[in-house]
Amino acid sequence: MIQRTMAAPWLGAAYYPEDWPEELQPEDIRLMQEMGLNVMRVGEFAWSRMEPREGEYDFGWLHRVVERLHAAGIATVLCTPSATPPAWLTAKHPDMLVLRSDGQRQQHGARRHCCSNNPAYREATARIVKQLAREFAGKPGVIGWQLDNEIHRQERGCFCPVCEAKFRARLQARFETVEEMNRTWGLGLWSMDYTSFDEVPAPRAHVFHHPSLTAEWLHFQSDSNAEFLDMQADLLRAGGVDVPIGTDMMPTNGQHYPHTNRQMDVVQYNHYDDDSHLWAAVFWMDYIRNLKPRPFWNTETSTCWNGGVTIQGYREPGFCRANSWLPFALGGEMNCYWLWRAHWAGQELMHGSVVSSCGRPLHIADEVREVAEGLERARDFLTDTACARSGLAMHFSAQAWDTFQAQPMVPRLASPIGGRPYAYASTLNDEIYRALIEAQLRPDIIDPAADLTNYRLVYSPFLPCIEEGNLSRRLPDWLEQGGVWVAGPLTDVRTPEGTKYTHAPFGHLESLAGIYCKYELPGHPKDFRIRWWNGEESAGGYIYDGLECREGCQSLGTYLEAPMAGLAAAAWQPIGSGGILILGTQPPANVLVSLLRWAGEKVGVRPVAQADANLLVVPRRGPRAEGWVCVELHNRPARLVLGRPVVDLLTGERLEGKITVAPFGVRVLQAAER
């Protein structure tokens, strides 16, 4: 049995004792201890067990499992069950069920099937949350709370009368008069202007609605979910809860994550990326790490495969090891598997787990034990250090996500109903971020409202509105003081309302950078050749802006084909001690990396390691230690050249010079005394 400390780093799983005979708990807990797990998430879907009939509560079973876990040295993250209201509640208030855009009501029998704005649903949720706080605030062994489960707007959200009325009230509060809304959004075109806010429709998916209206509706649905969570967090705190509160998110679902986490203490994250796509999980962890000061919790991930009623996505040996280490490498303090004991009935019978529904450890049990042992060996290093910033940041915007859903602008960013789902996020992830980390450029992924003080090089790919977060106002001083901004294509092309600027193709770039955009051409179906500053030639992508360089501006790429021939595809403008690099098109990955290295040299931003592209190398620093956590992402050997001697805390080896990392291998390297 592995002797784990009941403290971070936390390794655990989602546990559903409500679905199993209570006499199985001692054996479950024995196996948890044997695996080295020290935390369990409990209660997220158990509303009908907690409140079998309205106003009748049963928490005895939940108290017993928390107490048994605590006695065994295993902590509990308790969950509010609002994602799965019981049948007696939805039968009494059928109007709380989500009304889809096609006019059909959701049915009882799944999860997240109720409207976050419905008064009866909110009241019932408030009652169960208050009762949970009365029962469990200060309970020994409870180290945190999870609100709801993977809250997000489904399709375009709920279209019930409550949502429509709240949306219209929101518009009236924003614009005061319908005439102002008509003017701001340009609704006179196509006679789309309204004479009353009561006439404004909720933009259903099958109708070609005005993009400003559609984007505002998406913002509203996201904000409604965030308010629903804020209510729960406030109630728990009022009830005496003084441990961290968060909500487990799937950041592929379009929720505005900075808003969603405004009242949370800890960011919680769920992911199921497979062994061919692990860099996607790295992208999201590089993003969520920057939403809150506290280390994040990876609250769900797969041990071996996914599966609802159909099994899919087998992971190769070693995947569980590499995947389990990612959150700890990237600044988190918890990794939980979904799930502990596989379900014996229901919708997700075929999903991978730690032990089977028969209670038998799965084939990945040795990897789970190995991870637990490694976390114990590296505990001091992990808890005493944090991810060291490289000086590079990349913008990711929930507002941009909504803008591209409402008006994709180019085919490759099309993501409305019928288009490529999550195209904005997946484009940033697969086509841009992956190239950066494979070049060992380690960006923080930040919201446009984030402070730029800690960064010397900031890259904004596809950021249509730079007024978001007052970025346009903050940039000039930051540039004067030595910052370098790389503005990607489709950046600064929309107002906060999703409309075009009328004085120029860009809102601010021409005056900031001393350029003039002569032509804009689509990148479909033809791409245009460019000769770059370093002599390379390639096509661009997505869109093509033909730039004229003025006022001391330098071209870094020239179009070779008419009608753009001779115009700049990329331009550099020094500003104060820094400057702007404007990309009029999206370069291929190798050129993009070269451009970022070129810009980074001006401000001392360089690759964090000399390593193969398949190796994630995360520098970590603290007051008493520094080093690197290395995770191989592609199931093949990797090499790393060390600049100083280190000790691998997992093996005890002293290493220097060129070293190897095994397929899906992990090394925790602490700098040794010279």
- Joined tokens for residue 175: 């614009």
Buried-exposed string 608-644: b where 16+ CB fall within 10 A, e elsewhere: bbebbebbbbbbbeeeeebbbbbbbbbbeebebebee
What percent of the chain clears pLDDT 70, i.e. is strictly above it?
99
Which amino acid would we find at residue 86? P
Q: At what angle do helices 319-329 and 278-288 cross, to 10 degrees?
A: 20
Distance CA 18, CA 343 (A): 11
- Mean pLDDT of all residues in 634-663: 97
Residue 572: partners with Cβ closer than 8 Å, 6 or more residues away: 553, 554, 556, 579, 580, 581, 582, 599
- Please report the pLDDT score of residue 633 as a whole number: 97
Distance CA 531, CA 544 (A): 14
Residue 197: partners with Cβ closer than 8 Å, 6 or more residues away: 168, 169, 171, 172, 178, 181
- Mean pLDDT of all residues in 579-588: 98
Q: How far is CA 57 from CA 52, 343, 434, in A?
A: 7, 25, 49
* Each residue's pLDDT tens digit, 520-552: 999 989 999 999 999 999 999 999 999 999 989
Confidence class for position 240, pLDDT limits 50, 70, 90: very high
- Please report the pLDDT score of residue 415 as a whole number: 59
Distance CA 323, CA 414 (A): 30
pLDDT surpassing 50 at residue 112: yes
Locate all alpha helices (DSSP H) within 495-584, ordered by sequence: 509-513
- Mean pLDDT of all residues in 179-191: 97
Which of 606, 664, 609, 662 lies closest to 634, judged by CA?
664
The DSSP secondary-structure symbol of 499 reads: P
Q: Positive or negative CA dihedral for 520, 522, 526, 527?
A: positive
**Average per-residue pLDDT for the chain:** 95
Distance CA 15, CA 10 (A): 15
Q: How far is CA 262 from CA 216, 220, 408, in A?
A: 20, 16, 28
Residue 554: partners with Cβ closer than 8 Å, 6 or more residues away: 571, 572, 573
Which of 140, 9, 148 lies closest to 79, judged by CA?
148
- Mean pLDDT of all residues in 370-397: 98
pLDDT surpassing 70 at residue 151: yes
Distance CA 570, CA 547 (A): 8
pLDDT surpassing 80 at residue 617: yes
Distance CA 466, CA 400 (A): 10
The burial of 446, by beta-carbon neighbours within 10 Å (0-12 exposed, 13-18 middle, 19 or more buried), is given as: buried
- Mean pLDDT of all residues in 462-484: 98
Q: How far is CA 609 from CA 315, 622, 642, in A?
A: 28, 18, 8
In degrees rounded to 5, what are phi and psi of residue 610? -100, 95
Pairing of strands 311-312, 615-621: unpaired
Confidence class for position 413, pLDDT limits 50, 70, 90: confident
Q: How many residues are given for the chain? A: 674
Query: Do residues 448 and 442 touch, judged by C-beta distance below 8 A?
Result: no
Residue 176: partners with Cβ closer than 8 Å, 6 or more residues away: none
Scanning the structure block, which residue is given the tokens 């999870």?
A: 146
Pairing of strands 568-575, 578-583: antiparallel
* Each residue's pLDDT tens digit, 98-107: 999 999 999 9
Distance CA 632, CA 283 (A): 15
Give the range among 31-45, 148-162, 454-468 with minimum mean pLDDT. Answer: 148-162
Angle at 581 between CA 577 and CA 582, to 5 degrees: 145
- Mean pLDDT of all residues in 59-79: 98
pLDDT surpassing 60 at residue 403: yes
pLDDT surpassing 50 at residue 417: no
Distance CA 265, CA 273 (A): 25
Confidence class for position 418, pLDDT limits 50, 70, 90: very low
Distance of CA 579 to the CA centre of its chain: 29
pLDDT surpassing 80 at residue 207: no
pLDDT surpassing 90 at residue 326: yes
Distance CA 641, CA 446 (A): 29
- Please report the pLDDT score of residue 253 as a whole number: 74
Query: Do residues 52 and 28 touch, judged by C-beta distance below 8 A?
Result: no
Angle at 371 between CA 150 and CA 288, to 5 degrees: 35
- Mean pLDDT of all residues in 315-341: 98
- Please report the pLDDT score of residue 382 as a whole number: 98
- Please report the pLDDT score of residue 353 as a whole number: 98
- Mean pLDDT of all residues in 401-418: 80
Q: At what angle do helices 119-136 and 60-71 cross, to 10 degrees?
A: 50
- Mean pLDDT of all residues in 140-156: 93
Q: How far is CA 88 from CA 51, 53, 100, in A?
A: 10, 7, 22
Distance CA 299, CA 335 (A): 6
Which domains, ranges and CATH numbers included, belong to the chain? Answer: 161-215 (no CATH), 392-601 (3.40.50.880), 610-671 (2.60.40.1180)
pLDDT surpassing 50 at residue 488: yes
- Mean pLDDT of all residues in 647-654: 97
Distance CA 414, CA 421 (A): 8
- Please report the pLDDT score of residue 419 as a whole number: 43
Q: At what angle do helices 161-175 and 211-238 cross, to 10 degrees?
A: 100
Angle at 218 between CA 213 and CA 222, to 5 degrees: 145
pLDDT surpassing 80 at residue 416: no
* Sheet with 658-661, edge to edge strand ranges: 610-611, 638-641, 658-661
